[in-house]
Amino acid sequence: MLAKVPGGAVLGIDGYIVYVEVDVSPGLPSFEIVGLPDTAIREARERVRAALRNSGYEFPLRRITVNLAPAMIRKEGAGFDLPIAIGILSAIGEVDNGKAAECVFTGELSLDGHVRGTPGVLSIALGAEKQGFKDMIVAETNVGEAALVEELGIYGAGALREVVWHLNGVKRIERAKKTARNLSSVNADGVDFKDVAGQEHAKRVLEIAAAGSHNALLVGPPGSGKTMLARRFHTILPPLSWDEALEVTRVYSASGMLPRGSSIICKRPFRSPHHTISPAGLIGGGRLPKPGEISFAHRGVLFLDELPEFDGHVLEALRQPMEDGFVTVARAGGIAVFPTRFIFLGAMNPCLCFKRVSTEGISSCTCSPQSVRRYLNRLSGPLLDRIDLHVEVGQVEVHELYEAKDRETSEDIQRRVMKARESQIARFSGTRITCNAEMGSRDIETYCEPAKDARTLLYSAVSKLGLSVRSYTRTLKVARTIADLEGSQRIHVHHVTEAIGYRMPAFGA
């Protein structure tokens, strides 16, 4: 007899329905799984056989063929255990075939028949909703994640026997309640901008970066506070919206990196990979494409400390995702598109001896001009052109460590940032744009009309400084953010002047 049970799989971070077709026919006992399964799926034969027997069901000693359709897409993971088991039981008449065909199943089976959680359940649930399914059965540990999907009935099963009872109407599983839309805004990290002494100029730059979602580069000697500033940057960012939280959660769910006990990512991500990372680790890769660090930083912050120490190929691979907001990864197992809307934050020393600027502001660098040039040339011009804000972080005077105990907190700065973001949300209402940094060339013409004298100044700066068209548009977007922080509807000269100052590299040979 033939049975057809809906399951689910993930390609990249997108879920899609996989129909598990099970044929149980007379012949020599065998159990074959086809449809480009990986090793974990092939091993499902032993897990399913043991789970059925230990749950009190007879495993049919016949020829069993399982096809995972569509057969041309490679599939991986243990999430097909449950639909394969239900398919076999449907084929031998132990389960109502019609009921099984109306519900999507995903879950790993233990040898005693218990259902274990699997990664990517949120994406599969979204794919099931899109395909028009009304119900989905998952492991109890995946219920909160799957229940984020509004129009899908979610049922959490602890064991295979419970699923069979549910489908046969013997004992229904209680439908899960929808996950509450509660995104906590409490700073659980315990870090705060009030811990940073001095560096008011750098704090101003990071406030602008947070308000408009602009990229920034901090340049200064060791011990000047670059890393300290960067690791507090996420505390002044506005909270995630519900839609943004779902986007981020999909990335972490598909990668199996959703924190234990959590159903949704509530905080903006802060990712800080080591400089030895590979291009695949940063951008994404694998036989079946998996997200990289830039996607784990989606809607958050990607911080690269000691920027020139990263491999040149790794840094150059950042250019397109920084510009487009997504990255396409093509591998033998398929093609996947990952989101990459992150704020890039870099930190670097001014030279190899780290002494180009002393505490008195006088250069005491012992590096030759050639060695300085080689060090700085590790960062290409096109990459630097995509960084909106360059700031020099000088050494902090000792007396500043004991002064100004009433420093601004992260909450104080965040309030100004959120006020500026509210202006942007109102401005871009009805569009897909969420902040100034996401504006395209047409949007800039519409929303970034500067005053006449401000435009004259900007044209003059482009001519005299040799700025590219990209630099021009990014400077205008930064000026728009500075105006938003000031509460100004129009971009004026002083907004453009400040923005141009941040476009100038904070270092030179």
The pLDDT tens digits of the residues spanning 470-487 come to 899 999 999 999 999 999
- Give the residue among 416, 473, 18 at the shortest CA–CA distance from 238: 416
Are 234 and 121 part of one and the same domain?
no
- pLDDT(65) > 50: yes
Is 182 a domain residue?
Answer: no
Are 250 and 105 part of one and the same domain?
no
Say which CATH number the domain at 86 has.
Answer: 3.30.230.10
The model's pTM: 0.90
Are 109 and 36 part of one and the same domain?
yes
Instruction: Return d(Cα 435, Cα 330) in angstroms, integer.
Output: 29
Instruction: Return d(Cα 503, Cα 509) in angstroms, integer.
Output: 17
Helices (H) and strands (E) in the chain, counts: 21, 18
Are 115 and 203 part of one and the same domain?
no
Res. 364 pLDDT band, cuts 50 70 90:
low
Are 58 and 206 part of one and the same domain?
no
Domain count, the chain: 2
Are 203 and 144 part of one and the same domain?
no
Q: What is the pLDDT of residue 465?
A: 85
Is 179 a domain residue?
Answer: no
Looking at per-residue confidence, does 465 or 115 come out higher? Answer: 115
- pLDDT(185) > 80: no
Write the burial class of residue 275 (CB in 10 Å: 0-12 exposed, 13-18 middle, 19+ buried): middle
**Identity (one letter) of the amino acid at 171?**
K
354-379 mean pLDDT: 69
Q: What are 227-269's pLDDT values in tens digits?
A: 999 999 999 999 999 999 999 999 999 999 998 888 899 999 9
Least trusted range by pLDDT, from 26-40, 371-385, 444-458: 371-385
Q: Max CA-CA distance within the chain?
A: 89
Instruction: Return d(Cα 478, Cα 503) in angstroms, integer.
Output: 9
Q: In the numeric block, which tokens belong to residue 408?
A: 């601004």
Q: What is the pLDDT of residue 354?
A: 62
Are 156 and 205 part of one and the same domain?
no
Is 292 a domain residue?
Answer: yes
Res. 23 pLDDT band, cuts 50 70 90:
very high
b/e code 390-402 from CB counts within 10 Å (16+ = b): bbbbbbbeeeeee
Number of C-beta neighbours around residue 226 at 10 A: 25
Res. 217 pLDDT band, cuts 50 70 90:
very high
Res. 358 pLDDT band, cuts 50 70 90:
very low
Is 90 a domain residue?
Answer: yes
376-393 mean pLDDT: 90
293-320 mean pLDDT: 95
Is 410 in a helix, a strand, or coil? helix
- pLDDT(186) > 70: no
Is 178 a domain residue?
Answer: no
Are 126 and 78 part of one and the same domain?
yes
Instruction: Kindly state the percentage of the chain with pLDDT values over 70.
Output: 94
Instruction: Return d(Cα 31, Cα 353) in angstroms, integer.
Output: 66
Q: What is the pLDDT of residue 281?
A: 94
- Computed over its alpha carbons, how large is the radius of gyration of the chain? 28
Instruction: Return d(Cα 237, Cα 295) in angstroms, integer.
Output: 18
Q: Are 248 and 300 in contact (CB under 8 A)?
A: yes
Instruction: Return d(Cα 129, Cα 6) in angstroms, integer.
Output: 13
- pLDDT(178) > 60: yes
205-217 mean pLDDT: 97
- pLDDT(359) > 50: no
